[in-house]
């Protein structure tokens, strides 16, 4: 396993699920942490546990990232030259579920903000310092949904497609500065995300689920190796090349057969 190259990291959505798994795996690697999420009580509990178990420094930064003042505070922390952050993990996100026209507009705007605008803002805040230091990394937690039409989650799929495309292009821009971007294309993961989005998990496939630790392990291995993208889980790695080459008409036909309006 390649030696992990970074000594500090900021993780969004760190209080549960994939974000919590990132925090735990980074602490195991002796990485100092800044943990960001809405629930301060859960962050404090996790910070206390990680500091005790791994003797790492853990800073808690409670923030609803759709609140401009709190987002600005997190961006300021990332750009602080006195306390450099080596690795940004853009994990926080949300999704509305249902027909777009029937969903409340505020739900879809929140999804667009958390999945697109927040990662853009935070990445823009940390990159100048990373470039000047000649080292740093960004992890974007995207989804296999980025490759597919997703009726019933149209905004979510579109935001993840943006995040994946932006990460690939950005990675090519900053590589010459010693900075890299890794995009993680997750499949179905038992993280609480679907429940929070109002998805009845009984309607989803029973097999092929990942746990959050599998996602974090695959992502951090890709970071250590400097890979631009990773697909956690063997079953999903097999599917990804097919999704890239199948004609869109074929993908629509496949999705249409499985979609339940």
Left if phi > 0, otherwise alpha if psi is -120 to 50, otherwise beta: which for 134? left
- What tokens appear for 38 in the block? 């809405």
Cα dihedral 73/96/190/248 (nearest 10): -110
Contacts of 34 (CB under 8 A, 6+ apart): 8, 9, 10, 11, 58, 59, 61, 77, 85
Does the annotation count 236 as an active-site position?
no
Selecting among 6, 45, 54, 160, the annotated active-site residue is 160
Contacts of 160 (CB under 8 A, 6+ apart): 115, 142, 143, 145, 146
- What tokens appear for 7 in the block? 């000594």
Left if phi > 0, otherwise alpha if psi is -120 to 50, otherwise beta: which for 247? beta
Phi, psi of 233 (to 5 degrees): 90, 125
Does the annotation count 6 as an active-site position?
no
d(CA 232, CA 144): 10
Q: Which residues are annotated as catalytic? A: 156, 160
């Amino acid at each position: 396993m390649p030696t992990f190259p970074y000594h500090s990291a900021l993780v969004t959505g760190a209080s549960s699920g994939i974000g919590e798994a990132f925090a735990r795996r980074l602490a195991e690697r002796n990485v100092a942490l800044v943990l960001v999420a809405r629930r301060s009580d859960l962050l404090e509990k996790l910070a206390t546990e990680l500091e005790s178990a791994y003797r790492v420094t853990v800073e808690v930064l409670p923030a609803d990232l759709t609140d401009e003042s709190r987002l600005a505070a997190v961006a300021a922390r990332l750009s602080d030259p006195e306390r450099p952050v080596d690795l940004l993990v853009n994990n926080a996100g949300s999704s509305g579920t249902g027909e777009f026209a029937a969903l409340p507009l505020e739900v879809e705007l929140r999804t667009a903000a958390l999945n697109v605008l927040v990662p853009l803002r935070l990445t823009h805040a940390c990159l100048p310092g990373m470039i000047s230091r000649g080292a740093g990394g960004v992890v974007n937690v995207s989804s296999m949904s980025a490759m597919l039409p997703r009726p019933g989650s149209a905004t979510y799929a579109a935001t993840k497609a943006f995040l994946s495309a932006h990460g690939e292009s950005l990675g090519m821009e900053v590589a010459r500065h010693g900075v890299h971007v890794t995009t993680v294309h997750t499949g179905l993961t038992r993280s609480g995300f679907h429940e929070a989005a109002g998805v009845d998990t009984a309607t989803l496939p029973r097999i092929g689920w990942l746990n959050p630790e599998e996602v974090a392990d695959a992502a951090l291995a890709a970071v250590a190796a400097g890979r631009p993208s990773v697909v956690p889980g063997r079953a999903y790695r097999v599917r990804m090349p097919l999704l890239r080459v199948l004609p869109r008409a074929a993908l629509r036909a496949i999705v249409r057969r499985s979609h339940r309006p």
